[in-house]
């Protein structure tokens, strides 16, 4: 999606970031901002707040990059979690709750406009297919955990579902997503091969 | 708890989502380092959730980058001196070469696998087409056989038909038999249940009706499997089958070959 991504070895990028090289941050931003922004936007819903949260998230990433340990997971997953947590903290904060309550007609219209626009986005169409492929109860689990910041125990509590069932559904949802991504790659390959042969 | 139960407990998903306690995280890291299957599963969950996040990818406003850069570097403006610039080329050259080779090898492998599966798929499609046409042929044959049996049953169940058994001639073919069904009212004649020696090349069996003391051509016998409808006669007294040259003889000339079976009405 981004036109300005730089191809760089993740190890090299981390070395640059951990020695506080400004070029490293610039590459980091170009390579990951659209992914992080998309997830943040999905959580906070409005572009204005998403921009603020993205800024907070990048400040945290920059400050805590020394604490990131490569053996414990990819840089991308670590950054996604920082961004998600920042966004979830935001929607749970008092001023966000108040602003939602006091939302006037104008900003409601803006939100609806944004949602309508996103339906013409090719990425959003692709996403729809992924999500439609999930069973509703699996999709709900992923959304609660991923975008609402629930723990599995909290989901069980809130919805009166046994914890075991929650775990099974999360597992099934992730297995399903995994299969879907593999299929998608195969479909793309066959599409290419079909043109060749 | 064995590794399978551990994987199925859902703890890996929680770990990747960053919602495990410090103790649980340490446990996951320990299990992953000790058990390759846990490590593989962990990688798969991580990859899946990363892909999931990428589904929502959206370009932030262009002006945001400089604003965020300003906010990030506001606090330590003088820290980025030349001393901190890393000489990237000296860090891990071997690893980069290895990664390149490995990724090309994987790509080649992947293309190979895809061509293999694609060909398999094409072959399967061709087989399906072949099987479909074969299936159609079977269906047509089946239809023809069914029609023939229905005809035979209709004849057998009709009380107007009289059954005449043709018996083998002692000198020619004593064991041969055939059945003739004859409907006096409608003057219809069918033959069936032919038990005759296979006709030699250039020869064919011919059916005759004996009317007013003379043999009359009643038609050539095309096959021995099905019931055959033959020519109609008003008052036959007997029926016979002879072996003739292909094409058969005429009523005027009468049977030239030997009579194989014969029976009176």
The Cα A174–Cα A134 span in angstroms is 9
Sorted by sequence, the CB contacts under 8 Å of residue B241 that are 6+ apart come out as B166, B178, B194, B196, B205, B206, B207, B208, B221, B259, B260, B261, B262
Sorted by sequence, the CB contacts under 8 Å of residue A64 that are 6+ apart come out as A82
pLDDT for B95 equals 55
For residue B129, the distance in angstroms to the closest alpha carbon of chain A comes to: 19
Cite the DSSP H helix spans in chain A. Answer: 10-18, 22-44, 47-64, 75-92, 94-101, 105-118, 122-133, 136-147, 152-159, 163-196
Residue B99 in this model has a pLDDT that exceeds 80: no
More confident residue, A125 or B149: B149
Of A11, A37, A54, the CB nearest to B92: A11
Determine contact, residues A131/B52, Cβ cutoff 8 Å. no
The position carrying tokens 């730089």 is: A6
A107–chain B Cβ distance below 8 A for any pair = no
Closest chain A residue to B20 measured between Cα atoms? A151
118-137 in chain A: CB under 8 A from chain B: 121, 123, 126-127, 130
Beta strand pairing call for B188-195 and B177-183:
antiparallel
More confident residue, B85 or B255: B255
Contact B52 A34 (CB under 8 A): no
Chain B residues near residue A39 by CB distance under 8 angstroms: 53, 56
The Cα B176–Cα B164 span in angstroms is 14
Q: Count contacts between A and B (CB, < 8 Å).
A: 165
pLDDT for B92 equals 46
Regions of chain A where pLDDT drops below 70: 1-4, 100-133, 195-197
Chain B residues near residue A130 by CB distance under 8 angstroms: 52, 55
**Per-residue pLDDT tens digits for B45-68:** 898 888 888 888 899 999 999 999
**Per-residue pLDDT tens digits for B232-257:** 777 888 889 998 888 888 888 788 88
* Highest-pLDDT range among A171-180, B28-37, B164-173: B28-37
**Per-residue pLDDT tens digits for A159-169:** 898 988 888 88
């Amino acid at each position: 999606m981004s036109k300005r991504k730089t191809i760089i070895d993740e190890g090299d990028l981390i070395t640059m970031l951990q020695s506080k090289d400004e070029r490293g941050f610039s590459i980091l931003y170009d390579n990951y901002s659209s992914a992080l922004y998309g997830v943040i936007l999905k959580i906070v819903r409005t572009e204005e707040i998403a921009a603020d949260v993205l800024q907070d998230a990048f400040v945290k990433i920059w400050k805590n990059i020394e604490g990131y340990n490569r053996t414990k997971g990819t840089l991308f997953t670590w950054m996604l979690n920082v961004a998600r947590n920042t966004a979830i903290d935001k929607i749970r904060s008092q001023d966000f709750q108040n602003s939602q309550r006091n939302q006037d007609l104008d900003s409601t219209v803006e939100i609806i406009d944004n949602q309508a626009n996103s339906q013409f986005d090719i990425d959003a169409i692709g996403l729809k297919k992924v999500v439609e492929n999930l069973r509703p109860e699996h999709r709900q689990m992923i959304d609660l955990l991923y975008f609402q910041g629930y723990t599995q125990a909290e989901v069980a509590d809130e919805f009166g579902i046994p914890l075991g069932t929650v775990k099974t559904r999360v597992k099934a949802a992730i297995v399903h997503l995994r299969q879907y991504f593999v299929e998608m790659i195969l479909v793309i390959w066959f599409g290419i091969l079909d043109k060749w042969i | 708890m064995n590794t399978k139960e551990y994987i199925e407990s859902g703890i890996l998903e929680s770990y990747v989502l960053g919602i495990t306690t410090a103790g649980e995280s340490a446990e996951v890291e320990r299990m992953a380092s000790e058990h390759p299957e846990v490590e593989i599963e962990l990688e798969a969950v991580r990859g899946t959730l990363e892909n999931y996040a990428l589904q929502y990818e959206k370009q932030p406003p262009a002006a945001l980058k400089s604003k965020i850069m300003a906010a990030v570097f506001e606090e330590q403006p003088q820290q980025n001196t030349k001393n901190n610039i890393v000489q990237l080329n000296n860090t891990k050259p071997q690893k980069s070469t290895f990664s390149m080779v490995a990724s090309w090898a994987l790509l080649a492998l992947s293309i190979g696998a895809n061509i293999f599966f694609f060909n398999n798929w094409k072959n399967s499609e061709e087989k399906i087409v072949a099987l479909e046409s074969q299936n159609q042929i079977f269906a047509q044959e089946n239809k023809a056989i069914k029609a023939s049996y229905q005809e035979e049953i209709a004849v057998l169940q009709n009380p107007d038909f009289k059954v005449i058994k043709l018996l083998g001639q002692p000198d020619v073919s004593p064991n041969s038999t055939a059945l003739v069904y004859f409907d006096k009212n409608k003057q219809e004649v069918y033959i069936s249940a032919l038990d005759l020696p296979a006709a030699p090349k250039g020869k064919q069996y011919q059916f005759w009706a004996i009317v007013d003391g003379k043999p009359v051509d009643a038609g050539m016998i095309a096959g021995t499997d099905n019931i055959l409808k033959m020519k109609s006669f008003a008052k036959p007294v007997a029926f016979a089958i002879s072996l003739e040259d292909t094409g058969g003889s005429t009523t005027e000339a009468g049977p030239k070959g030997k009579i194989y079976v014969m029976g009176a009405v």
